[in-house]
Amino acid sequence: MIGIEHFLYVEDIEILVYIFTVISGAIFIYGLYRSYRRWFRKGEKPSFDNFWTRLYNLVKYGLLQRKVVYRPFEGSMHLLIYIGFIILFIGTLIRAFEADITLKFLGYRVVSGSSYLIYKLFLNIGGLLAIIGIIIAFIRRIFLKSENLPDTLSDYLLLLLLLIILITGFVLDGISTLAYRYEWVNNYDFIGLYIADLFKNVENIEIIYRVTWLIHMALAIFSVGFIPYTKLYHIIVGGILNTFFSRNYHPAAFKKIENIDEIIEKGETPGALTLNDLSWKERMDYDACIKCARCTDNCPAASSGKPLSPMDLMLKMRSFIDQGIYNKELIPDYLDKDIIWSCVTCGACVYQCPLLIHHVETILDFRRGLIGKGENVPEELLEVSYNLMRYGNPMGNDPINREEFIKELVDEGLVEIAEEGSEYDYIYWIGCQSTYDPADKEIARSLLKILKKAGLKIAVLPEENCCGEPARRIGDELMFSELVKMNGEILSKYKFKRLVVNCPHGYNIFKHEYPLYGVKIEVIHHTQLLNELIRKGLVKLDGGKIDKKITYHDPCYLGRWNNIFDEPRNILKEVVKNEYLVEMRHNRERSFCCGGGGGHLFFDIKIGERISKIRMNEALETGASILAVACPYCKIMLHSEAGEKIKVMDISEILAEALTEKK
Amino acid sequence: MDIGVLVKASLDGNMIRADPDGRINIENTPLLISEYDRNAVVEAARIKSEVGGKIYVYTLLTWGPTKKKKKELENVVREALALGGDEAYAVVDDRVIPCDVTSTAYILSNLIKKFGNPELILAGEASMDMLSSQMPIRLARHLGYNVVTFARKIELSDNKIRVTRDLEDKLEVVETSLPAVISVTGEINRPKLPTLLQIRKAFAKPFKVVGLDELELEDTGRKISYSDLRLITITRKNVIIEADKLEDIADILIDKLIEEGVVRV
C-alpha cells in the first residue's frame, strides 16, 4: 500500500492529539474574542460592504503579499517561510482529514498511490523552503537588520520554535520512511530518505520517534493556539483581517468626519483624545503591526531625528489597549505631543506597510482632538487656523494682494477673470502659495505663459480661498468643512471642464477629499496638463533643450499618494537630454519628503535635523544644477536650503524657460 | 468675584484699505479684536480660575457703517468669549459712530453698571487702532473705581490687589483695592489664538446687543473726525544680518541697534 501509515508507533497516545487540539482551540478562540473586545468598544460592527473589493484586497495584499515583496530581501525571506508553512499546513490538514474522517468512516484514503508520492514531495519542498527561510531570517536578524527593526529575545525564540517544529517534522518523516516506505518512496521523499539513512543503525528508534512526535505535535498544535498572543498574530489580524477590512476609500482621502455640526452642537470635538475616540479600524491597525519597521525606516520624521516613529506609535497604542486605558486622554501624559506634530503626512509609512495600516489616519485624528481642545498645539498652527478664518489663507496675507497679482496677470494678457455664464475649458486654481509667495508666484506666471502659447481658454476665479488642505492636515476639521462649503459654492458658479492646479496638496484635496464632502470636481495637476499639451503637439519644444543637469523631486502628494510619476519626468525629457536627467537616491514611490507637508510649511519641530536639508543633500549628491519640483511647498522648503550650487525650479518654470530659449 | 473685560473691535492693521488720496477707507477696513484685549480676557480667565465668578465682556462699536461692522463686532465678541468670557454685552448705535474715547468710556460705564456691574474690570493697555491708552482711566473716573495701568502681573490677596506695572525702563509694584480698573500689557500672558471650533462653541454663550435708548442715554455728540485718518507709508530698512553663529548674529544686531540710536548703552 502506498499511503500514510497513521499514528505509527504512537497509536496508544493518539488521544493526546485531540486533547491538545481542543485545549489549543479554546485558547485560540479566547484570543480572537479578546481582540474583538479590544476593537469593538462602542457597539460598532465590522463592515462587510463592498465585499468583493474587500476579498480582492485580502487576496492581493494578504494571500499574495503584494507589499511584503516591496523589499526584495526581507520579502523573499518571508515568502519562503510563508509558502513553506502554507504547504505544510495544508498537508497536515489533509493528513488529519484522512485519518479522522475519510479513513475512519468511509475507509477511503485521500492520498494514495501516485497522489501520495506527490503529496510527499510537496511536504518535503514546503519543509525545506521554510527551513531556508528561517535560516535567512536568523542571518538577517544577526547581520542584516534594517535600521529600526526591533530585536528582542522573543524574536529569536519564535524563529527557534518554528525551526524545531520543522526539524522534528523531518525527523519523524525520516523514521517513518525507515519504518515502512524506504523501498518505494524514492526521491519523492528526498529529505526523508536522507534522514532515514542517518537512523538506520540507531537503536530504540521507536522511543525516539515517540518522544519526537510528542514534541512536534505539542509544539505545532499549541503554537497555533497561541497565535493570538504572539507576533504570529499578524497572520490573522494583519494578513487576513486588516486587508479584508482595509479602508475602502483612497488612502489619501483620509477619514471622513461625519456630521461635524452635530458633534459641535453636543459640545464634543471631532477626532480623538482617547483610545475610545478612535475607530475600531484604527484599533485593529495597532494589533495588526508586525514590527517590521518599514514605516519607520522610511519615515522622514524618524530619519531626521524627530520624536515620531510610526511603528512605535502603533505599538504604543497597542500597549495602551493592553493597559486598558480606553478613556484617558493620552496626550500629553501617555503620548508626547511632538510625536503627533512631527508627521509631515508624506505617506511613506502607509505606502510601505505590508499589512495596510494607516498610521497617518491615527495621527490626524489626534491632531483633530488637540485642535478641538486648543491645547498642546504648536502656536504657529493656531495662527494658521486663525489666518484661515480671518484672511482665507494660511499665511495671513491680505487678500488684496491677490487682487493685485491677478490684475498684473490680466494686464500682462496671460489670463482672464472667470465670468459666470461663460464656458471655459480650464479654470486655474492658483492656490495660496502661488498667489502670495514671491518665489511661487513665478510658477503661476510661467504656467499661464505656456498655456497661453498653447492657445487654451483659461480663466482664474475672481475670488479664491484656501483649498483647506493645511486646515485638514493640522486637524482643523471645522475650518476645512467651512472651506469646502465656500469653495464648492464658488466653483459651482462657473462652467468649466477641468480645474487646473499647480499644487499637489490642492490636487489631492480636490480629487480625494472634497468628494467625501459632496463636492465633485474634475481636477488636473499642471504637470499632467503640460504633458498632455506636449503629446498633442500644442506645446512644441523641438530644439529647445536646456544644457544643465536636472534632478526631479517627487512631491509626496503628487507621487506616492497619487501615482503621478511619469508626467513630470516626460516633460523634463523634452527639455533636457536624457543623460542630463538624473535621479536622486530616493525617488518615485520611495521619494523623501521636502519637509513641508502636514502643516510643516508653517512651523518647525526644532528637534533633530531639518528634513528639507536632508533632501537637499540628496539633490546635491546627484551633481545636478537644477532641482525640478512640481509643488509650491517643495519649492519653498528646498529653495531655503539651496545655496549657490543648485537652483530650485518648478517644472512649469523650466518649461517656460526652455520655450523662451527656443525663440 | 465677577470680572469685566473691555474688548475693542479695532481696525485691522494688516488689512488697512485706503482711498487713492491716502485717506483710510474705514468702511472696507475689517475690524479685529484689539491685540492686548486678548491678554485682558486671558488674564481674567486666569483670575477666575483662582477665585471663581463670571467674566463679562463689554464692547462698543466705534466704527461704521453699523450694518457692515456689526457682524465684525460680533466676531470680535465671539473670539473674546472663546478665549474665556462667559457673557457679552455690546452697544451698537448709529448715533455715536465713529465714537471717540471720551464718549466710549461714558457709554461703557453705563453699560457695565446696568449689566453685571463687576468690581474688577480689565482692559488692554491700548487699542490697536487709536492707541490712546485713556480708556481705563476715563472709565474708572465714571465708575468711581481705582485705576492701575500697564500691569504685567496681577496678584490678588484678600482685599488687596498687587500689580506690577511695566514702565518701559523699570517695573513698579503698586497696591490697590477693589473696585478697580486695571489695564494689562502684552507681557502679562501669551494668549492662544482660538480655533474656529472654539469660537463656534462660544455661540452658546449669552450675548446681548443694546442701543443708547436701552441705556437711557442721549447722543453724546463726541465723534472722531474722519479726514484726520490717513495712511502713512514707511519704507523699512530691510537689513539682513548674516553670520554663522547665533551669538554673532546677536552681536551684529546689537551694534546696529546702537548705531541707529534705538538702544542706549
The answer to whether the Cα torsion of A529, A532, A533, A539 is positive or negative is positive
Q: Which residues of B touch A389 (CB under 8 A)?
A: 196, 199
Whether B193 and chain A come into contact, CB under 8 Å, resolves to: yes
Whether A489 and chain B come into contact, CB under 8 Å, resolves to: no
Nearest to A374 among B14, B190, B198 (CB): B198
Q: Which residues of A touch B196 (CB under 8 A)?
A: 385, 388-389, 476, 478-479, 482
The answer to whether the Cα torsion of A600, A604, A605, A608 is positive or negative is positive
Chosen CATH of A11-232 out of 3.40.50.170, 3.50.50.60, 1.20.950.20, 1.20.1250.20: 1.20.950.20
Whether B35 and chain A come into contact, CB under 8 Å, resolves to: no
Best of A368, A478, A482, A602 to disrupt the B interface by mutation (most B CBs within 10 Å)?
A: A478
φ/ψ of B208, rounded to 5, equals: -115, 130
Q: Which residues of B touch A396 (CB under 8 A)?
A: 14
The full set of domain ranges for chain A reads: 11-232, 260-377, 389-659
Contact B120, B178 (CB under 8 A): yes
Nearest to B197 among A396, A400, A478 (CB): A478
pLDDT recorded at residue B236: 86
Bridge partners (DSSP) of residue B89 are: B58, B208
Q: How many pairs of residues across A and B have Cβ atoms under 8 Å apart?
A: 55
3-state secondary structure of B71: helix
Closest approach of A130 to chain B, Cα-based (Å): 55
pLDDT band, residue B224 (cuts 50/70/90): confident
φ/ψ of A571, rounded to 5, equals: -65, -45
Q: Which residues of A touch B192 (CB under 8 A)?
A: 374, 377, 379, 382
Bridge partners (DSSP) of residue B120 are: B3, B180
Percentage of the residues of chain B whose pLDDT score is greater than 70: 98
Quick one: average pLDDT of B170-195?
95
Q: Which residues of B touch A270 (CB under 8 A)?
A: 197
Q: Do B194 and A374 touch (CB under 8 A)?
A: yes
Q: Do A264 and B199 touch (CB under 8 A)?
A: no
Contact A388, A394 (CB under 8 A): yes
Whether A479 and chain B come into contact, CB under 8 Å, resolves to: yes
Q: Which residues of A touch B194 (CB under 8 A)?
A: 374, 382, 386
pLDDT band, residue B226 (cuts 50/70/90): low
* Helix locations, A578-631, DSSP H: 611-621
Q: In this structure, what DSSP letter does residue B261 have? A: T
Whether B246 and chain A come into contact, CB under 8 Å, resolves to: no
pLDDT of B234 over the 90 cut: no
Bridge partners (DSSP) of residue B157 are: B160
3-state secondary structure of B31: strand
Chain B residue with the nearest C-alpha to that of A479: B196
> How far, in Å, CA of B135 to CA of B130, rounded?
11
Quick one: average pLDDT of B122-147?
96
- Helix H, strand E, coil C: the string for A44-110 is CCCCCCCHHHHHHHHHHHHHCCCCHHHCHHHHHHHHHHHHHHHHHHHHHHHHHHHHHHHHHHHCCCC
> How far, in Å, CA of A474 to CA of A470, rounded?
6
Peptide bond into B179 cis (omega under 30): yes
Mean pLDDT of successive 10-residue stretches along chain A, which has 663 residues: 88 94 98 96 91 97 95 96 97 94 92 94 97 97 92 96 97 94 92 94 92 96 96 96 95 93 88 96 97 96 97 97 96 96 97 97 97 93 95 94 96 94 94 95 96 91 96 96 96 95 98 95 97 93 80 98 97 90 96 96 93 96 96 96 93 92 55
Closest approach of A371 to chain B, Cα-based (Å): 7
Helix axes A400-411, A441-453, angle to 10 degrees: 30
Nearest to A386 among B15, B17, B193 (CB): B193
Q: Which residues of A touch B32 (CB under 8 A)?
A: 390
A105 alpha-carbon distance from chain centroid: 49
Q: Report the half-sphere exposure of B103 (CA within 13 A, side-chain side).
A: 20
| CATH architecture for segment(s) A260-377 | Orthogonal Bundle (1.10)
Q: Do B200 and A386 touch (CB under 8 A)?
A: no
Closest approach of B110 to chain A, Cα-based (Å): 32
Burial (0-12, 13-18, 19+ Cβ within 10 Å), B58: buried
Whether A326 and chain B come into contact, CB under 8 Å, resolves to: no
Q: Structure pTM? A: 0.93
> How far, in Å, CA of B210 to CA of B216, rounded?
11
Which among B219, B152, B158 has a CA at the least distance from the CA of B1? B158
Q: Do B193 and A382 touch (CB under 8 A)?
A: yes
Q: Do A264 and B17 touch (CB under 8 A)?
A: no
DSSP A301-335: HHHTT-S--HHHHHHHHHHHHHHT--SS--TTTTS
Contact B31, B9 (CB under 8 A): yes
CA A503 vs CA A555, A635, A648: distances in Å: 10, 11, 15
Q: Do B15 and A482 touch (CB under 8 A)?
A: no
Nearest to B201 among A264, A388, A477 (CB): A264
DSSP A117-158: HHHHHHHHHHHHHHHHHHHHHHHHHHH---TT----HHHHHH
Q: Do B195 and A372 touch (CB under 8 A)?
A: yes
The answer to whether the Cα torsion of A412, A417, A422, A425 is positive or negative is positive
Which among A526, A315, A317, A569 has a CA at the least distance from the CA of A440? A526
Largest CA distance in chain A: 101
Whether B196 and chain A come into contact, CB under 8 Å, resolves to: yes
Best of B28, B33, B128, B195 to disrupt the A interface by mutation (most A CBs within 10 Å)?
A: B195
Q: In this structure, what DSSP letter does residue B262 have? A: S
Whether B76 and chain A come into contact, CB under 8 Å, resolves to: no
Residue recorded with cell 465678541: B77
pLDDT recorded at residue B237: 85
Nearest to B14 among A270, A398, A482 (CB): A398
Closest approach of B265 to chain A, Cα-based (Å): 33
Whether A636 and chain B come into contact, CB under 8 Å, resolves to: no
pLDDT recorded at residue A418: 96
Quick one: average pLDDT of B220-239?
77
Q: Do B193 and A383 touch (CB under 8 A)?
A: yes
Nearest to A396 among B14, B196, B200 (CB): B14
Q: Which residues of A touch B200 (CB under 8 A)?
A: 264, 478
Tell me what ipTM this predicted complex has.
0.88
* Helix locations, A151-259, DSSP H: 153-176, 190-199, 205-225, 243-244
